[in-house]
Amino acid sequence: MINIVGVRFKDNGKTYYFDPCGLKLKQGDYCVVETARGTECGEVALAPRAVQEGDVVQPLKPVLRIADAADHRQMERNRAREKRAAEVFAEKVKRHKLEMSLVDVEYTFDGSKILFFFTAEGRVDFRDLVKDLASVFKTRIELRQIGVRDECKMMGGIGMCGRPFCCNQFLSDFSRVTIKSAKDQGLPLNPVKISGVCGILMCCLNYEQETYEELSKKLPKVGAQVETPKGKGVVAELSVLTSKVKVKFVSDDTTTFETYDAREIKWQKPARPAGEKKQKPQKEKADGAVSKG
């Protein structure tokens, strides 16, 4: 077992794990840590706890100290400097006639580097821009081109549901979303209705996917032949959450439809492929277990 503490550097950012080095930290505290890009100050998102060594990527970098008043003042100064840097960046981009849009500016805690996050339609040759910015700020400059999902996460906004973007509020990582989720949930396959402001399939399509997949196992497939109280018919439509099955009956030149509860009908369930074993339910991890980060 090893001790870890989870720290994040942005309100909606990813949580990284560090060695607390015996410091008494609690959730909501700020601490100064050593990272790959130098010292940084972040908020404790996960209080110190013991976990299995295989649950985190090692070696862990150390927490240097609990943030004091001077560290908080440094963070405030950096936020003010970032606003000034954004103004200078916009001016220089206009002067160099580059097609790029600034999304965010970030000073490292010790001020040794400034990161500019931008979007652009294609590749941009910004070498002269970097030299120009370095001559103004007298420090290391790094430009990072990001995609539309990252832009929405940084900028924030309101989704079609009327609520703030999930990625901006609580999602620390983007998960893969496929059109299969929309199909399984019976949603209209209209890109406008199932895509977010970023133009990519909405992250929330994944929230209920596991439930839909589990409930669908108890229902026949669309197009399957079923036995109903009225006789044999073909499944025309499913309501997965309510376990309702709409069945089509064809008699001579007449087509009718009836809706049944799944328990009222019978169908031939597909056989399990040869060699496939029934999976046993997995035990939940004990409190305090942490995924690899």
What's the rounded mean pLDDT across residues 40-61? 90
What's the rounded mean pLDDT across residues 94-115? 93
What's the rounded mean pLDDT across residues 15-33? 93
pTM for the full model?
0.71
What is the distance of C-alpha 187 from the center of its chain?
Answer: 21
Hey, what are 66's tokens? 């609990």
- Taken in order of first residue, the domains within the chain and their CATH numbers are 2-67 (no CATH), 73-146 (3.30.300.20), 151-212 (no CATH), 219-267 (2.30.30)
Distance from C-alpha of 247 to C-alpha of 227, rounded to nearest angstrom: 10
pLDDT at position 85 is 95
What is the distance of C-alpha 173 from the center of its chain?
Answer: 3
- State the chain's maximal CA–CA distance in angstroms: 85
What's the rounded mean pLDDT across residues 103-110? 93
**Contact 25/63 with Cβ under 8 angstroms?**
yes
pLDDT at position 292 is 37
Hey, what are 252's tokens? 């001579």
Distance from C-alpha of 117 to C-alpha of 110, rounded to nearest angstrom: 19
pLDDT at position 268 is 79
pLDDT at position 276 is 54
Closest CA to 111 of 40, 63, 44: 40
- For residue range 206-250, list pLDDT tens digits in order: 999 999 999 998 899 888 999 999 889 999 989 998 999 999 998
DSSP helix/strand/coil, 114: strand
pLDDT at position 260 is 93
Cis check: omega of the bond before 59, within 30 degrees of 0: yes
- The overall average pLDDT reported for the chain is 87
Distance from C-alpha of 129 to C-alpha of 89, rounded to nearest angstrom: 9
**Contact 29/44 with Cβ under 8 angstroms?**
yes
Hey, what are 219's tokens? 């229902």
DSSP state of 54: G
β-pairing verdict for 30-35 and 101-107: unpaired
The larger pLDDT score, comparing residue 287 to residue 240, is at: 240
Cα-based distances in Å from 169 to 11, 62, 98, 105, 118: 8, 28, 32, 19, 21
- For residue range 132-166, list pLDDT tens digits in order: 999 999 999 999 999 988 899 888 889 988 999 99
CB atoms within 10 A of CB 45: 17
Residue 270 has pLDDT above 70, yes or no: no
Distance from C-alpha of 42 to C-alpha of 56, rounded to nearest angstrom: 19
Report the share of the chain in percent with pLDDT over 70: 92
Hey, what are 176's tokens? 């893969």
Cα-based distances in Å from 20 to 26, 197, 223: 11, 39, 58
Residue 272 has pLDDT above 50, yes or no: yes
Residue 286 has pLDDT above 70, yes or no: no
